[in-house]
Amino acid sequence: MTRRQEIVRQLTAHTTGSPKPEAQAFAPANVALCKYWGKRDADLNLPVSSSLSISLGSLGTTTGLRLRQGADHIMADRLELSPDDRFCRRLSAFLDLFRPDADTGFVVETRNSVPTAAGLASSASGYAALVLALNDLFQWQLGREQLSILARLGSGSAARSVYNGFVVWHCGASDSGMDSVAERITGEWPELRVGVVIVAGSEKPIGSREAMARTVASSPFFDRWKAVAEADMHQLREAIGNHDLELLGTTAESNAMAMHALMLASRPPVLYWTGATIDVLQRAWALREDGVPVYCTIDAGPNVKLLFLDEAEARVREAFEEATIVQPFGE
């Protein structure tokens, strides 16, 4: 039995009921304010440092599941995918952890409201929605922390997408990974807004897993990353507790720039930004110079997320007509 199988066995061994005919679940995409970048264990997706995110409300993934005899049948955004498709191979390998027997397959129908593999956490919401649907299908009745462990096995940042709102994913210290769980931070911030500016919806030229591994192996600055992340985590939690947008925004923006600097220093370098990415950053910084408090963060991709309050929404909409504005605590 592999370590991944042992984790699934531990968490689901209590199950006694029969599977339901079908199940469906939604999970939101999330934006990391303190990034997850670097693994201490690639097999179990255990991070070197803790991370913190904000969910994107109704932007995310809806996944339906049912069992069938034979091979898996996977549809994404209403398109039937070939079993040889890379997405299908990865998804079926993950579902192997949960099959009642070798002859049982899954019918999976998944729909994203954010572009897939474009640096908008579609894999996070995808695997979180899948695990939430599995929990319903098999009637495990697991808590969210336990579900975050299972989602993490599919995609690290999926641990955070089993929740709404602000979420901390603890890096943990155990080799088993059972203490590397996500939890929601208590408290809401109704005035907070997130603007999603998509400058490229196509698949990234290099996946996050490969980029992360390359950074860990070759960036000369990676040894400093854990200390940076720990300091940023402390400041972000203080900002959330005090509803301090300036502290939240400056910390999240600095953390994102530090992560992308790590990638730029890798060999060969990893650069997700495009000219359009820089244009969005410069427009946001110009708006801030003009007295409008708006801050930026960028995950592993070219697309930019803006952080601001409701009182600045009109100015942000005027400057970024292409942005989708999300109200994380009010939708």
User: In the chain, where are the structural domains located?
Assistant: 3-184, 192-326
Per-residue model confidence (pLDDT) at position 331? 59
Per-residue model confidence (pLDDT) at position 79? 87
CA 144 centroid distance within chain: 15
Q: Which residues pair with 167 in a beta bridge?
A: 53, 184
Which residues lie closer than 8 Å to 2 by C-beta, 6 or more apart?
none
Per-residue model confidence (pLDDT) at position 118? 43
* CATH number, domain 192-326: 3.30.70.890
The model's pTM: 0.95
Q: By three-state DSSP, how is residue 123 classified?
A: helix
Cα 194 from Cα 184, distance rounded (Å): 18
Please identify every stretch of the chain with a pLDDT value under 70, giving residue numbers as ranges: 115-121, 331
Burial string for 274-288 (b: 16+ CB within 10 Å, else e) reads eebbeebbebbeebb
Q: Which residues pair with 309 in a beta bridge?
A: 192
Strands 104-112 and 73-76: what pairing?
parallel
Per-residue model confidence (pLDDT) at position 119? 46
Cα 323 from Cα 124, distance rounded (Å): 21
Per-residue model confidence (pLDDT) at position 83? 86
Fold of 3-184: Ribosomal Protein S5; domain 2 (3.30.230)
Per-residue model confidence (pLDDT) at position 113? 85
Q: Are 16 and 141 in contact (CB under 8 A)?
A: no
